[in-house]
Amino acid sequence: MNIGFIGLGNMGRGIAENLLKAGNSLAVYNRTRSRAEALGSKGARIAATPAECCKGDFVFTMLADDAAMEAVALGDGGIVATLPAAAVHVSLSTISVALSNRLAEAHTRAGSAYVAAPVFGRPEAAAAAKLFLVAAGPAAVLARCQPLFDAIGQRTYVLGEKPAAANAVKLAGNFMLASAVESLGEALALVRKHDIAPAQFLDLITSSVFTAPPYKIYGAIIAEEKFKPAGFLLPLGLKDIRLALAAAEAVNVPLPLASLVRDHMIAALAHGYGEMDWSVIGKIAMENAGL
């Protein structure tokens, strides 16, 4: 397949490399060119503009937020304006439900196809092609995408033909992850104040009632205070919680826990933790406990 890939951050770099390993022809673009050059040495063609990534069968985007996606997809010379008819834009990004709807409408008017396929997994999962994809879009288009999804992830969950459904599920999932991180931080603060070793508590709790990988991964990060290098930066986590709150408000769903997590993330930014992993909200729980 002839594929373009836009956005080579911590997640995008590993995903793009796996598409290249699968034997696809790949053109890559990143605002910071040095990130693209690493893939250029492995056989990818480095594009000078996003439009140069839109000449093939597919273009994938893995961008930080709505503003970046709007600029790349809907701006002058962007994806919608330059993608050939019947070609597919696959958005892996965590963006708002509202923007996903706008993208679907814009691609329909332009005669191209749009699929939302946000992913669950940290950068190490992206590099190992072990992501979980949540995909939605026209059935025939998803069928065309599936071999590419198989090259970057371990399983794809299909949620129907409306792309924004995938974005809503991704935001709900990230809200649950952030809530788990919040509860871990509070629980670890509690046991520490009772002179119980965090490692002992984590071994017990993640081997019995909370065995899911996020509890093990984030529990260890919080207990050891290893918030750098960040797998997922705090400002990006805050962006996702704000998007979840906006999606909830649009359909009159209260998310009081999300509001709490948002406030703790803002507190972490106020403490200067903006370059740390989003699990640094566990540190806020400890500081609130006088630790």
The pair of structure tokens assigned to 136 is: 């939605």
Assess whether 55 carries a catalytic annotation. no
Indicate the residue type of 61.
Answer: T
Contact 286, 264 (CB under 8 A): no
Dist. CA 16–CA 111, nearest whole Å: 25
Candidates 170, 193, 226, 228; catalytic one: 170
- Among 9, 11, 43, CA closest to 27: 43
Measured distance between the N- and C-terminal CA atoms of the chain, rounded to whole angstroms:
54
The count of C-alpha atoms lying within 13 angstroms of the C-alpha of 212, restricted to the half-sphere facing its C-beta, is: 10
The count of C-alpha atoms lying within 13 angstroms of the C-alpha of 124, restricted to the half-sphere facing its C-beta, is: 4
For residue 82, give the DSSP letter.
Answer: H
The count of C-alpha atoms lying within 13 angstroms of the C-alpha of 98, restricted to the half-sphere facing its C-beta, is: 14
Dist. CA 273–CA 271, nearest whole Å: 6
Dist. CA 103–CA 105, nearest whole Å: 5
The count of C-alpha atoms lying within 13 angstroms of the C-alpha of 180, restricted to the half-sphere facing its C-beta, is: 18
The pair of structure tokens assigned to 70 is: 């709007």
The pair of structure tokens assigned to 51 is: 């439009």
Give the DSSP per-residue string, 209-238: T--SHHHHHHHHHHHHT---S-SSBHHHHH
Active-site positions?
170
